[in-house]
Amino acid sequence: MLLSMTGFGDARHQDPAWSIEVEVRTVNNRHLKLSTRISDPYAALEADLEHLVRQRIRRGAVQLSLRVDRPRRAEDYRLNLVALASYRDQLRAFGREGQGAGGAPGDGPGVALRDLLALPGVVEEAKGGACDPQQDWPAISRVVGEALDKLEAARAKEGRAMADELQAMGRAAEALLGRVADRGPLVVQSYQGRLTERIGALVRDHGVSIDAKDLIREVAILADRSDISEEIIRLRAHLSQFQEILRDSESAGRKLEFVVQEMGREANTIGSKANDVEISRHVFEIKGLLERIRELIQNVE
């Protein structure tokens, strides 16, 4: 079963204690490459996340986003009494200076407590120091697993469509190769007929005598040079192996890349040895199919 390297999966969990959001995106890449975006203070879980991803994905560029939010609690805030006392004392001192300079009598300007609380540094917010990422990991890993399940389902669905298209192109290449195989023996016969006609014309026009052995030797040389039977056998075997890999239970993008590369070599050899317009046309179509196959399997895991 083929798996596409392109896919998307997401999962969410929310309860009164917290909310967890996970998104996983993948695109094609020759090797497994993971990039993460993790909210504080859970960056320490990056190694655990990578281990989880590697258990499910073998190739591709993976982008994983983890966001964890907790509702605010009373214990998340505290007063900085030092800062509060400092503001109060400074304001009182400022008031006494104003009184000494002819200001209104009193202990200082009247400042409401709410005004002091609004000053910078008076109210401090906890930065999540009470959270233990490793303690939270079991719950987080379950949500990540759900996102990876959805990702795998999307990649499998696209992989099935790709497999159908690849099988169809493989069968089309086999059909074209069958025409090449049928045409191969006729190439030598056609050459022999043309050569016999030319020699006959030379004999008629110039009285040249040609030994039959020379004619047979010339035809034999061409037959040896243009023999493509071995290449046809190998290319047919590669096409059969190609179909077997597509039907395999595991996705094998690297195997497909290698087999298609070998098919291209055999097709090139057939085209260069055949010395026939019709065979060259069929080879050109086969190479076009192989190029389309090669582009498609770049996205197979």
Q: Tens digits of per-residue pLDDT, 154-204?
A: 999 999 999 999 999 999 999 999 999 998 777 766 655 565 566 556 556
Domain boundaries for CATH 3.30.230 within the chain: 7-72+133-156
Residue numbers of the chain with a pLDDT score lower than 70:
73-76, 98-111, 126-130, 188-226
pLDDT at 151: 97
pLDDT at 105: 46
Pairing of strands 19-27, 60-69: antiparallel
pLDDT at 106: 44
State how far Cα 231 lies from the chain centre.
33
pLDDT at 94: 78
The 10s digit of each residue's pLDDT in 26-53 is 999 989 999 999 998 899 999 999 999 9
pLDDT at 48: 96
Give the integer Cα–Cα distance in Å for 56 and 58.
Answer: 7
pLDDT at 203: 59
pLDDT at 104: 46
Whether this model's pTM surpasses 0.75: no
Task: Tell me if the domain spanning 7-72+133-156 has CATH number 3.40.50.
Answer: no
- Contacts of 129-136 with C-beta under 8 Å, sequence gap 24+, read 129/41, 130/75, 131/41, 131/42, 131/70, 133/41, 133/42, 133/44, 133/45, 134/44, 134/45, 136/42, 136/68
